[in-house]
Amino acid sequence: MSNPRYVPREFALYPLEYGRKPLIEWCSEEGLTTRELAQRDAAHLQHGVAYGVTQLYMPRSETRQMTSLAEALEIPYARLQKLLSGHSVMQLEDLGRLRRLIGDSVDPWLLRGRYAALLTEGRAAMDREAARERRERLSRAGVRARPTPKTPPPMR
């Protein structure tokens, strides 16, 4: 697409933060047309997916490299780069491909506002409960669980 309808990252106050930080500032709604407001909202949704893929999914998955992810999604590497950096508009088909690869982990990345906060709090609570149950099982089995370090040990 040589002449895109709009560039999603241009709605971000600081375009270099697009897809890299969980919360970024957006341009003011004041003076935008209805169409531009819809594009701004779409850019916000795409940013959530881009952040989720690059910062949450990729570091923990087998597809740690962008080339591997593009191959798994069956889309050109250059297109994936443009989507995740906000230079190209994400299509529903792209989202569908991500969801088929990653699963429903994509869904929270599309949430905004209080629903996203509620889901995040709920997942954190579930993680804490699972850790507590694990410690109890290990304790009953007579195994002393090591505490999980909060920061990685220093590199030498």
- The model's pLDDT over 53-101, given as tens digits with 9 standing for 90+, comes to 888 787 777 666 888 889 989 999 999 999 999 999 999 999 999 889 8
pLDDT at position 80 is 94
Distance CA 87, CA 9 (A): 6
Q: Over range 25-45, report the average pLDDT.
A: 94
pLDDT in tens, 101-123: 888 877 777 776 555 555 555 65
pLDDT at position 1 is 46
Q: Over range 25-52, report the average pLDDT.
A: 93
Buried b (16+ CB within 10 A) or exposed e, 73-101: bebeeeebebbbbbbbbbeeebbebbeeb
Quote the longest CA-to-CA distance of the chain. Answer: 66
Q: SS3 of 116, please?
A: helix
